[in-house]
Amino acid sequence: MFKTSLTIFLALALFALPGSVLGQTESELEEAIASASPPVTTNLGTVEVTARKWVEDAIDVPQSITVIPASLIDAAGLRTLREASIYVPNTNLVEFSARRLSFPFVRGIGSGQGDPAVSTYLDGVPQLFPGGANFPLLNVSRIEFLRGPQGTLYGRNALGGLVHVITRKPPAVPGIDAYATLGNYRFRELGVVLGGPIVDDALSGSLAGLLQQRDGFTRNDLTGRLVDDRDTFFGQGQLLWTPDDRNEFRLSIIGERTRDGGFALSDLEGLRDRPWRIFQDFEGVTERNAFLPALTWTHAGDDLAFTSITSFQYQDVFETSDFDFSALDGVRRRTEETYGAFVQELRVSSAPGAEVALGEGARLKWLAGLLFFHADSDRSADNEYRPGGVGIIVPAAGIDQSTGDFTDQGLGLFGQATVTVFETLDIGAGLRFDSEKKSASLRRTFVSGGFPIPVSSGRYDERYSEVLPRFDLGWRAGEGIMLYALAARGFKAGGFNLDAPDGQIPFTPETSWTYEGGIKTEFLDGRLRASAALFYIDWDDMQQSRFDAMVGGYVTNAGEATSRGVELEVLGRPMDGLDLFATFGSADTEFESFVDQYGVDVSGKSLPFAPRTTFSAGIQWTGEIRDGVRFHLGGEYAATGKFYYDAGNREGEQYALANFRAGLSGEHWRVQVWLRNAFASAYVPVAFQPNPADPGRFVGETGAPRTFGLTLTVTF
């Protein structure tokens, strides 16, 4: 009955995953991307993941995982995690048009200001600073969306889940992939990936670069100009050295230079009447530079495997914006931030295929490690109160300056072990001890008539520590069937706001317990894959983002909350060349106790940015026209159910998007036309309350309109 229901559900799927190599192993994917026309395979293949920091089949991992492979990324032209997230149930990745801000929410858990509650990793390196979830996707092998707390192995800021972007290693044979895209809104994109051996088989390298530009989607009716344009260069260089069959050294250097237009913010009511229109007297900018080098060393012994990941992170941000969000020349905002960090992870584990025998019918696989990081940041935020706001917003013109020097240093010790009994039952347990020390030196000054007037200053120091256990069971109930259950604790450290009203500078840690049970299945000779999960989350002292007209965004704690729900995923290949998928998620989130910034008890209300339901479905059909020429047709439909912008559930949104594409390919070329947001849905994915005296006023941004274009890819 279960298999019959899943088959019917699959047959009713409306649209599909692009790419007919979905689900292949990484080695198969590397072979597939060497050609613009990936081969058609009979079954879905094996999905390899590193969710538990060792390579294994996704069906054997006792937790919810969605993998977006290179085949989908390339065929659908995915360039951001936001675009990829529509394939993941109970996930809402909230972004402004300016790419420095990105807030992932999973199962209702997320964060705006401050540290994320859903962490982002890039090739095993945690992205410690804001905006780590919105670097462009370039030369990517796969994306692993891990839902549920990952704190035992990954530490703080992963209590809602984790997104791991894994790039392709330099290839063993020379090759060049290049593509060019032209679209409406003067969208221009040029991408190049080249690589191959440098010294025999021991040393290889690769270079990847992306240039991307477009005009803005939103017009300022006061000036007549488009305000949210984009201009980016993003690149990665790699060296891969394998001196012998036991050691591998991988050096990666990633850089970005982004010059975007300002935030396209306006009153919510006006955006719904006239989407993609604002009325501001000042048009700001957002600029970001990033430099991310990392060195990974892996050693594979007969009995033990060792991994070292050493990375540095640098990022600077400059931003200006109209802070009264209107034609009134009242307040302008200027923000400057500089971040630097060093991260070192060391771990040792049992070697693949060298598990420890514990007696007849039982074996042990284990891993242990440590992670150390040290991060510094300098931040400043200036509110310039202009003459047009005097008497309306403030009593006198001047500049309210907040500056802060922040230091964050942490150490995590972790381990996990899985005992397999009689090849059918996996019993797993993990434990992590996290210790983190934060400090902040803050100053606030008001400059009037050229004279600085000290307002406040202070030095804050705090240490946070937590023990994060995890327990899981996995039972192989039959061929291609895995039943599992888990319980895990999540943790997010406290910290300090740059500025906040009423002395709310410090905020406390957030903790959670998640309980999950599910099933993963494969049948019909590997042509159909399905999974289902139930979850319940209970957490204390949730950190919530608020906004104040005088100080901007800040973080406060929200008492107790719960989330419960279900997730379903189905992927199938009913015939060669035809791939189908469908996903569904439902999350019932609720504040147990919390008083919002307006003094209202919001107990029983839903958490912000937590859709009640998510749904997506898609199709990709690939076939041969004649020798050497293939056609490609595909698309997907994604619906985000009702969610709210605020804790009081005063305003919210729901929307659906449809994307389509069609193309032809040969041995070394591919041409594709694409259409996104095909039905021109006007929606507001992000909004907030700017006035602490008026809970009914919201400002937000309209989501991307209908876009279309043509992409030409060549491969040698």
Residue 672, C-beta contacts closer than 8 angstroms, at least 6 positions apart = 77, 632, 661, 662, 663, 710, 711, 713
What is the residue extent of each domain of the chain? 2-715
The 3-class SS string of 218-267 reads CEECCCCCECCCEEEEEEEEEEEECCCCCEEEEEEEEEEEEEEECCCCEE
Q: Scanning the structure block, which residue is given the tokens 């072979």?
A: 31
The answer to whether the beta carbons of residues 257 and 233 sit under 8 Å apart is yes
The confidence score (pLDDT) of residue 549 equals 64
CA atoms within 13 A on the CB side of 618: 30
> CA–CA separation, 627 vs 662, rounded Å?
19
pLDDT score, position 393: 67
C-beta of residue 503 within 8 angstroms of C-beta of residue 460: no
Is residue 339 within 8 A of residue 387, CB to CB? The reply is no
**How many other CB atoms are there within 10 angstroms of residue 320's CB atom?**
20
Q: What is the spatial distance between Cα 25 and Cα 27, in angstroms, rounded to a whole number?
A: 5
Would you say the C-alpha torsion 213, 218, 221, 222 has a positive or negative sign?
A: negative
Q: How many other CB atoms are there within 10 angstroms of residue 626's CB atom?
A: 6
Chunked into runs of 10 residues, the chain (716 residues) has average pLDDT values of: 37 33 39 40 80 90 93 88 93 84 87 81 89 87 93 88 94 94 97 94 95 96 94 96 96 96 93 94 94 96 95 95 89 94 96 84 94 96 84 76 95 96 94 95 90 90 94 93 95 86 84 95 90 95 76 80 96 91 96 87 94 95 91 95 95 96 94 96 93 89 96 94
Q: Which of 474, 506, 516, 512 is nearest to 492 (CA)?
A: 512
pLDDT value, residue 140? 94
Q: 């894959």: which residue's tokens? A: 529
Residue 441 CB-density burial (10 A; 0-12 exposed, 13-18 middle, 19+ buried):
middle
How far CA 496 is from CA of 44, 57, 373, 523, 638, in Å, comes to 48, 41, 18, 51, 37
Sign of the torsion angle spanned by Cα atoms 614, 612, 696, 390: negative
Closest listed residue to residue 11, CA positions, set 569, 574, 525: 574
Determine the CATH number of domain 2-715: 2.40.170.20
Q: What is the pLDDT of residue 307?
A: 97
- Run of H or E residues at 83: helix 81-84
User: Which tokens sit at 602?
Assistant: 């919001």
Length of the chain: 716
Amino acid (1-letter code) at residue 77: G
For residues 568 and 10, give the distance between their C-alpha atoms in angstroms, rounded to a whole number: 12
Residues 434 and 151: their CA atoms lie apart, in Å, by 9
